[in-house]
Amino acid sequence: MNNEKKATRQSYGEALLELGKENPNIVVLDSDLAGATKTELFKKAFPERFFDMGIAEQDMISTAAGLATCGKIPYASTFAVFAAGRAYDQIRSSVCYPKNNVKVCATHSGITVGEDGATHQMIEDISMMRTLPNMKVFCPSDDIQTKWLIKEISKYNGPAYVRLCRLESPIIYDKSQKFEIGKAVQIGNGKDATVFATGIMVSEAIKAKEELEKREIYIRVVDVHTIKPIDEEIIIKCAKETKKLISIEDHNIIGGLGSAIAEVLTEKLPQRLIRLGIKDEFGKSGKAEELMKYFHITAEDIVKTI
Amino acid sequence: MKITDIEELKKIANNVRINIINEVFNGKSGHPGGSLSCADILTVLYFNQMNISSKEPNAKQRDRFVLSKGHASPALYAVLAEKGYFSKKELVTFRNIKSKLQGHPDMNKVLGVDMTTGSLGQGLSVANGMAMASKINKDGFRVYCLLGDGEIEEGQIWEAAMTSAHYKLDNLCVIIDNNNLQIDGEIENVMNPYPIDEKFKSFNFEVITINGHDIKDIVEAFNKARQIKGKPTVIIAKTIKGKGVSFMENQADWHGKTLNEEQYKQAINELERN
């Protein structure tokens, strides 16, 4: 992990631009938020393949489905609260049930949206999206992984939900790092505990790991970038190899990463899991860093839990 | 091959109605009223207007049809079977657990179905997406979308209507099956969408109003829509729910229920006399 920071929404915009150059079937739709979701980079380069749908997210998702039925690969973007929430039935009926090749890329997820407050802080989307048959759910942790993911999802024919962040976060990986859909990344080999983290929380978990090392406590971090299909193998392996299991997410603890892991443990290897995340309440206004402390989803909270 | 003879089209439409009754009777459920009201429109689309072939059901440049009011699936299946996309024998399996003929159309199960529908209000947006794809690729195909008159109470329809006009989708033709009835009663009593023509005019559509059971009227309206450039067209088809079966006509009660043995015999008798 280096000191350079970048928001995954920015990485998304840059990746889309590259993908647009490589694949003429890529089209992008946005709901009046191209500046914030960073699809404006694609818009400027390929105006004939970019559709501003106005402030109408439901229309955007179903339109994307129509484009997909004709062989296009639509990436549809808006804030997570409007994508997964407002357009839920469109994602369900027009995208997932017919298996249409629509990539829903939602930025501004979680309480780290900050000052806009609860109405704009989506903490239920992982839960809602992973319950949809045919949907794959992703939450990349840094710039390198996001750029890989945005390209990778264009290679399979079917729905995707990608959860992106507004807040800048550290770049974790080297450019040479290899990723695979459905395979979580294990960072470290510590046996004292496993911290399963996703998205912006991965860098917090790594900070906690470094802090704990100073105290001679050795943990491992598992970056779960694919929440569905979940990597059962690594969950079982870590449950066997480490003394304590913790999950952390910028999401409601109901239905999110922690729940997905608990489901695997319950069936395969029953074991205690401590879930860190938003404890079933709405967010609030404030600076992102202040809110992370308020909701107890920082490196410090991980250290305390261990 | 396109059929232009009006009498022949009428005969096919009548067969489509018989198919609809057979589906709903054998399936022991379904939506006969709104299927019968759009039978003439679908017949003209599939036998006179659309550039399609059951031999090449996935041809890239074929015209597309979106049945946004997906509950009228019996009408779509009836037309597709008449057109040879699958055997007419399969129609009696409608809604059966082993059947590909789902309660609402599934594009992955039935050849000829261009989009899965069922949750009202989404089809026009999908049709817009298809029309956009046609324009980007310069494929030149046309897109047709059938909406229910009750369905236009859904807000997404008006989001989509803005999009159709904003992107000047003149390769899109929307048809409203204006049978004036929805589940709970007359549309103006449940949630009045009138004046429908003025609404679409103000959304920058070309508006054509016709008798949705006059085959000649329907053919001419679609031909006129082809000539409109720079904006989408909506055809408001005045129809009768349950059209062709005397005891079903104009009865909201026949929106979504099946027929008993006696009713079935009477319906088939009436239709076979035509």
Q: Cβ separation of A93 and B133 shorter than 8 Å?
A: no
In degrees, rounded to 5, the angle at the alpha carbon of residue B271 between the alpha carbons of residues B269 and B274 is: 110
Q: Between A59, A64, A66, which is nearest B156 by CB?
A: A59
Chain A residues touching B139 at Cβ < 8 A? 70
Cβ of B133 within 8 Å of Cβ of A97? The answer is: no
Element holding B146 (H helix, E strand): strand B143-148
**CB of A26 closer than 8 Å to CB of A154:** yes
**Averaged over A14-22, what is the pLDDT?**
98
CATH architecture for segment(s) B6-272: 3-Layer(aba) Sandwich (3.40)
* Residue A238, burial from CB neighbour count under 10 angstroms (0-12, 13-18, 19+): buried
Which two structure tokens, joined as six digits, stand for A217?
């406590």
Average pLDDT over residues B179-208: 97
pTM of the model as a whole: 0.97
Return d(Cα B39, Cα A148) in angstroms, integer: 50
> What is the rounded distance in angstroms from the CA atom of residue A191 to the CA atom of residue A221?
11
CA distance B219 to B10: 12
A284: nearest Cα among A294, A298, A299, A296: A294
What percent of chain B shows pLDDT beyond 90?
Answer: 99
Interchain CB contacts (distance < 8 Å): A and B: 110
With contacts defined as CB-CB under 8 Å, which chain B residues touch A133? none
Cis peptide before A229 (omega within 30 of 0): yes
Partner-chain contact A66 B126, CB within 8 Å: yes
Are the C-beta atoms of residues B38 and B177 closer than 8 Å to each other? yes
**Closest chain B residue by Cα to residue A87:** B156
Q: DSSP per residue over chain A, as a string?
A: --S-EEEHHHHHHHHHHHHHHH-TTEEEEESS-HHHHSTHHHHHH-GGGEEE--S-HHHHHHHHHHHHHTT-EEEEEEEHIIIIIITHHHIIIIIITTT---EEEEESBSGGG-TT-GGG-B-SHHHHHHTSTT-EEE---SHHHHHHHHHHGGGSSS-EEEE--SSEEE--S-TT---BTTB-EEE---SSEEEEE-TTHHHHHHHHHHHHHHTT--EEEEE--EEES--HHHHHHHHHH-S-EEEEEEEETTTSHHHHHHHHHHHHS----EEEEE-SS---SS-HHHHHHHTT-SHHHHHHH-
Q: What gap in Å lies between CA A258 and CA A197, rounded to an integer?
A: 9
Confidence class for position A175, pLDDT limits 50, 70, 90: very high
Closest approach of B66 to chain A, Cα-based (Å): 10
A109 CB within 8 Å of a chain B CB: no
Residues of A in contact with B121 (CB under 8 A): 58
Minimal Cα distance from B70: which residue of A? A93
On average, the pLDDT of chain A sits at 97
Measure the CA–CA gap between A64 and A68, rounded to whole angstroms. Answer: 6
Q: Nearest 5°: phi and psi at B96?
A: -80, 150
Q: Which of B108, B132, B159 is opposite residue A58, by nearest beta carbon?
A: B159
CA proximity to B64, closest of B117, B6, B5, B121: B117
Q: Do the Cβ atoms of B141 and B51 come closer than 8 Å? A: yes
The answer to whether A224 touches A145, Cβ cutoff 8 Å, is: no
Rounded CA separation B101/B74 (Å): 9
Measured between beta carbons, the chain A residues lying within 8 angstroms of B125 are 58-63, 65-66, 90, 94
User: B15 to each of B8, B48, B78, B112, how far by Cα in Å?
Assistant: 11, 16, 8, 19
Q: Which two three-digit tokens encode residue A72?
A: 């296009």
Q: Which residue has the tokens 């829509």?
A: B225
Cα–Cα dist A273/A148, whole Å:
30
Q: Give me the residue spans of the domains in chain B.
A: 6-272
B187, two tokens: 């549309």
What pLDDT, on the 0 to 100 scale, is given for residue B274?
A: 84
Spell out the alpha helix ranges (H) of chain B: 6-27, 32-37, 39-44, 73-83, 123-137, 155-166, 187-191, 196-202, 215-227, 261-272
pLDDT for B1 equals: 76
**Residue where the block lists tokens 């009228």:** B72
Query: Residues of A with catalytic annotation?
Result: 57
Report chain A residues whose CB lies below 8 A from the CB of B108.
Answer: 98-99
With a cut of 80, say whether residue A2 has pLDDT above it: no
Cβ–Cβ of B119/A98 closer than 8 Å? no
Say if residues B48 and B219 touch (Cβ distance below 8 Å).
yes
Asked whether the beta carbons of A83 and A57 are under 8 A apart, the reply is yes
* Structural domains for chain A: 7-170 (3.40.50.970), 185-305 (3.40.50.920)
Interface of A with B in 35-74 (CB under 8 A): 48-49, 51, 53-54, 56, 58-72, 74
Inter-chain touch A90–B125, beta carbons under 8 Å? yes
- In this structure, the number of other CB atoms found within 10 A of the CB of residue A242 comes to 21
Helix (H, G, I), strand (E, B) or coil at B203: coil
- What pairing do the DSSP bridges indicate for beta strands B185-186 and B181-182? antiparallel
Q: Do A89 and B119 count as a contact with CB atoms less than 8 A apart?
A: yes
In Å, the largest CA–CA distance within chain B is 53
Q: What is the dihedral of CA B26, B32, B37, B40, to 10 degrees?
A: -10
pLDDT band at A237; cut points 50, 70, 90: very high
The answer to whether A63 contacts B160, with C-beta atoms less than 8 Å apart, is yes
Distance between A26 CA and the closest CA of chain B, angstroms: 11
| ipTM for the whole complex | 0.96
Q: Is A78 on the interface with B (CB under 8 A)?
A: no
Category of B204 on φ-ψ map: left (φ > 0), alpha (ψ -120 to 50) or beta: left
Residue A99 near chain B (CB below 8 Å)? yes
Task: Write out chain A residues lying below 8 Å of B138, CB-based.
Answer: none
What pLDDT score was predicted for residue B124? 98
- Reported as a single tens digit per residue, the pLDDT across B45-67 is 999 999 999 999 999 999 999 99
- Provide φ and ψ at B273, rounded to 5°: -75, -20
CB contact under 8 A, A66 and B160: no
* Chain B contact present for A26, CB below 8 A: no
Taking residues A101-119, report their average pLDDT. Answer: 97
Interface residue of B104, B107, B124, B136 to substitute, partner A, most A CBs within 10 Å: B136
B151-191: per-residue pLDDT in tens? 999 999 999 999 999 999 999 999 999 999 999 999 999 99
> Looking only at Cα atoms, what is the longest distance across chain A?
58
Q: Which residues of A touch B167 (CB under 8 A)?
A: 51
Cα-Cα-Cα-Cα dihedral of A272, A277, A282, A286, to 10°? 160
Q: Which of A56, A70, A98 sits opposite B116 (nearest CB)?
A: A98
Compute the nearest-CA separation of B119 from chain A (Å). 7
CB contact under 8 A, A72 and B118: no
CB contact under 8 A, A94 and B122: yes
Q: How far apart are CA B23 and CA A86, in angstroms?
A: 36
Residue A1 has pLDDT above 90, yes or no: no
Contact A93 B134 (CB under 8 A): no
